[in-house]
Amino acid sequence: MSHPAIDRLLQGHAAFRDRWTQDDRDYLRQLASRGQSPDALFVGCSDSRVIPELLTQSAPGQLFVVRNVANQVPPFDHADSSVGAALEYAIGHLHVQHIVVCGHDLCGGVKAVAQGADVRELPSLHEWLAGVRVALAELPQAADAEVHLRAAVEANVAQQLDNLLTFRDVRAGIEAGTLHLHGWVYDLAGLSVRVFDPARDDFVPAGTLIKGGRPTGGGPLSRP
Ligand SMILES: [Zn+2]
């Protein structure tokens, strides 16, 4: 039985393969034989508009990704084994040097909590959003709804950075200088990223922190 949406996915994969260069093929085969050695663990939202590899122009092998509703990292004493397993594997086995928690403006999960929506008819979602409720518990109400939602998204990212510190391996990596945490917010409408700057205790436009030149384009894989 044919499903147009699934046919589109398979046709998309075929089109993707058609654009590969020989270098792309060599790179993918090397990845297959050598195994992965990603630079970062990326914790993002499941939202279909926020695609980590696309937004960061990362090739296969560069990002180890966890995506869930509202980019949550439940704290260790309330560990979610999916997120916890990815975290342990990324640090302990893959030796990633960076963890990026990336939220996004207009996040449905954060918005539901910020606006006090009742989602108990979706019991798993209601339970999952407990982490967002903690993040927003002490957030002052802004007069402007849009400003409040932006602040809520940022507070949610900041909370997940705090939650990461409840994991022993994260604390050990930071103390050893081998692991670094980063908080980002992707602005869907503005097409830009805000980055948490600990020195200012605030999110600032990513452009102010970028070091070095911008990467140049290549084949569809944007290989390193
Ligand atoms: Zn979201």
The one catalytic residue among 8, 19, 29, 49:
49
Q: Do residues 15 and 50 both lie within one domain?
A: no
- Work out the mean pLDDT of the chain and round it to a whole number: 93
What's the domain count of the chain? 2
CA of 157 to the centre of ligand 1 (A): 11
The answer to whether 47 is a known catalytic residue is yes
SS3 39: coil
Note the pLDDT tens digit of each residue in 103-141.
999 999 999 999 999 999 999 999 999 999 999 999 999
Please report, for residues 39, 84, 91, 156, the alpha-carbon distance to residue 173 in angstroms, rounded to integers and kept in the order given. 14, 16, 8, 23
pLDDT at 2: 87
Q: Do residues 170 and 115 both lie within one domain?
A: yes
pLDDT at 208: 63
Q: Do residues 16 and 41 both lie within one domain?
A: no
Q: Residue 155 is which amino acid?
A: A
pLDDT at 80: 84
Stated pTM of the model:
0.92
CA of 47 to the centre of ligand 1 (A): 5
Residue 48 has pLDDT above 60, yes or no: yes
Q: Do residues 29 and 46 both lie within one domain?
A: no
110 in a structural domain: yes
223 in a structural domain: no
CA of 28 to the centre of ligand 1 (A): 30
215 in a structural domain: no
216 in a structural domain: no
Q: Whole domain around residue 19: which residue ranges?
A: 1-35
pLDDT at 216: 47
CA of 182 to the centre of ligand 1 (A): 17
CA of 71 to the centre of ligand 1 (A): 7
Neighbours of 73 (CB within 10 A): 29
The one catalytic residue among 24, 102, 105, 107:
107
pLDDT at 212: 58
CA of 186 to the centre of ligand 1 (A): 10
The one catalytic residue among 24, 47, 105, 148:
47
The answer to whether 102 is a known catalytic residue is no
Note the pLDDT tens digit of each residue in 147-202.
999 999 999 999 999 999 999 999 999 999 999 999 999 999 998 999 999 999 99
Alpha carbon 129 to chain centroid distance?
A: 17
Closest by CA position to 156, among listed 108, 188, 193: 108
